[in-house]
Chains A and B, each alone.
Chain A
């Protein structure tokens, strides 16, 4: 089965450090999402791209978060500087058309101490 691959799976970092999370969408998928999951807020949309162009990043704190797709095989989510409140699981998902649904990666569990 085709998979969405996220790296790293786990990341522990100190407050103030830069964190970069990577996602390899399924080959041929033209839509990529970044979601954040916390106990308090549940699943929140941070950003999404279609054909590598950002369509919506209104859910993302602009002062510290940035999302890019340098090419069709890589999406990145960067936090600089990181804060303890950023501790969460970050999921990437990709798809071709929403009528088919979207495939999620296994997530990056981020802990900021």
Chain B
């Protein structure tokens, strides 16, 4: 069965520091991969997605993620974190084709930003 693991429940970084949030997936074929962000009391906003091509994808708000098939990973990065980035981040995998396409989410990583 497909699954997504986000090993870090909570991460704290200083404003201006770099950030990497980890995501590992389990899926037999080439996955569709997503990162979403959720601010308190809000819905989920799509940051970026990968389904083919260049393994380094750029998203909104200065985020990027790199797909590494050999490691079954899709880690999210940002070179310099802003206080407004404090939120919860979810990695998700979707199956491809036919009647599939539902998203399987990881448990999320909560990001806190120190001034």
Bits for B89-114, please: 1 = Cβ < 8 Å to A, else 0: 01000101001011111111000000
Q: Which of B16-24, B39-47, B76-84 is the contact stretch?
A: B39-47
Q: How far is the CB of A89 from chain B (nearest CB, A)?
A: 9
Whether, in the assembled complex, B34 has its beta carbon less than 8 Å from a beta carbon of chain A, the answer is yes
A103 contacts the other chain (Cβ, under 8 Å)? yes
- The residue on A at minimum CB distance from B96 is A98
Asked if B107 and A42 sit within 8 Å, CB to CB, the answer is yes
Q: Are A50 and B107 in contact (CB under 8 A)?
A: no
Against B, the Cβ 8 Å flags (1 = close, 0 = not) of A77-100 are 000000000000001010000111
Complex: chain A residue closest to B106, CB-CB: A42
- With beta carbons under 8 angstroms apart, the residue of B32, B45, B104 that contacts A99 is B32
Interface residues on B, range: 20 to 34
Residues of B near A105 (CB, < 8 A) are 43
Q: For residue B106, which residues in chain A have a CB less than 8 angstroms away from its CB?
A: 42
A55 neighbours in B (Cβ, 8 Å) = 99, 102
B102 adjacent to A104 (CB under 8 Å): no
Q: Please report whether the interface of chain A is mostly helix, strand, loop or mixed according to DSSP.
A: strand
The complex places the Cα of A4 from the Cα of B32 at a distance, in Å, of 22
Q: Give which listed residue, B42, B45, B46, B108, contacts A42 with CB less than 8 A.
A: B108
Contact yes or no, A98 B94, CB < 8 A: yes
User: Which of A98, A103, A107 is in CB contact (< 8 Å) with B32?
Assistant: A98
How far is the CB of A100 from the nearest CB of chain B, in Å?
Answer: 8
- Kindly list the 4 A-B residue pairs having the minimum CB-CB distance in the complex, ordered from nearest: A104-B43, A43-B105, A104-B44, A101-B46
- 17 A-B pairs with CB atoms under 8 Å apart are A4-B43, A33-B102, A43-B90, A50-B101, A56-B99, A56-B102, A98-B32, A98-B101, A99-B32, A101-B49, A102-B46, A104-B43, A104-B44, A104-B45, A105-B43, A106-B42, A107-B43
Apart from the given pairs A93-B103, A102-B46, A104-B43, 20 other A-B contacts in the complex at a CB distance below 8 Å: A31-B101, A33-B102, A42-B106, A42-B107, A42-B108, A43-B90, A43-B105, A45-B104, A48-B101, A48-B102, A55-B99, A56-B102, A93-B44, A98-B32, A98-B96, A99-B32, A101-B34, A104-B44, A104-B45, A105-B43
